[in-house]
Structure 1
Amino acid sequence: MAGMSDCKTSPTPMAPASKSKTSTDQPFPDPSWYRRLAGSLQYLSITRPDIAFATNRACQHMQSPTVQHFQDIKRILRYIKGTITFGLPIVTGDLELQSYSDADWASDNSDRKSVSGFCTFLGPNLISWSVKKQITVAKSSTEAEYRSLSADISEVLWLRRLAEELQVNQQLPTLIHCDSISAIAIAKNPVLHARTKHIEIDFQFIRHHLTAGHIQIQHISSQNQIADVLTKPLSASRFHELRTKLTIQSLNA
């Protein structure tokens, strides 16, 4: 479809220093072609979370793509060419849910909105993930992390209910890994501070489910934060490390 079957491969779907270009970039002459490619990549990301962040960034420019945006899509395609046999295996193991939540604060240069990313495992198997630009501008990295945490908990609660219907009851609170000490402190503090009143709904939502014993939030170092791969472009070595932790691997091995 893309005519790149003989292209050179790329080690990552997105360059580490990649930034959104300004409106002075030359417009791409065939926007409909760009949209078809971006839509195909979005479909592929259903089973390839390693391209989810780069694809999400590409899909944000559907309306007025530039030549640079098309080059960004071509890089994703070159990465796919080199990992054409990769996928998500399903293996036997325990049936306990655990999740990882992360955010990249004010990462979009055009509107300074943050990106939320989270992924959830059922035992050793990755079953759910999300990459999404936050709808409002976060005033601090803590607020961005907290909003991502709230979105992750909503997904976890749904997965817990689904698991219960499938008779895979979760006997213990679902562990959610977060690398923001400040966000965890807000979640566990029973008093809503004046500086956090603008996130009161998220605060009450998270506090309720912590108290009810549905979830448990645990700090994790940024180095071990798997959801990092869903929120920002990374170096090749870091990307490959987190890709492995997402359990994405060649299915021909």
Structure 2
Amino acid sequence: MQAAKINLRAQTGAPKWYNTFMNHLLTLGFQHSQAYPSLLTFQHNQSQIFLLVYVDDILVTGNNQEVINNILSKLHAQFNMQNLGTVHHFLGIKIQQFKDKFFLSQASYATSILTSANLTHCNPLANPSCTKLPPEVAEDTILSEPSTYRRITGSLQYLTLTRPDITYAVNVLSQHMHDPSSQHVYLLKRLLRYIRGTVDFRLPILKNQLKLTTYSDADWASDATTRKSTTGHCTFLGDTLISWAVKK
């Protein structure tokens, strides 16, 4: 898997650079993914190449290194690009490669969230949430500020890209960003203490059978005020978790 950075805006202007690059990829034989327009695929004989574009960064992988090198050389001939080689980080996500698997993690990003909340040395917890709140909740000098609550909760939403274990807890916190109470601040601090103890958790991507399996569940009118339910699902490709969501 290789990464590259494109310096295209100076040549075409900000509004046009993305369309210019995409149109050139189409002339090389790429096609847009129906699931995600910034993901393009290239197929020829037994070769299959995937190219992901995010702003001015691209990620390229596939089953034929010679074809990948040929595509990159054609792009270099047309655009001002910097080949960053084998990818180790992409959009704040650390990518560790092994012979038959990958691991994705956001340890540095999680640590920066803890630092902003002044919880880098807090005592960790074993669970990201709780089923019963204490009758009295002490004020937190940092997290009780509504703007801080919203900023940290928003940051945690990005952390769920590699941390499905905190998705439900973040969903609950996000429902009260407009007016967080002391109980919501308590739940936020619990979640941050859980992250403190699991900061090195990694999401595995394994090489195995391409069998698609989805699990889903929902409670029944768990919100006592709105009587709305909360549902969640997770989808596996073989043994690899590829999609998950929680929704009220």
More contact order relative to length (CA 8 Å, sep ≥ 6): 1
Give 1 or 2 for the bigger CA radius of gyration.
2
Identify, as 1 or 2, the structure richer in strand: 2
Report the TM-score, using the length of structure 2 for normalisation: 0.49
Identify, as 1 or 2, the structure richer in helix: 1
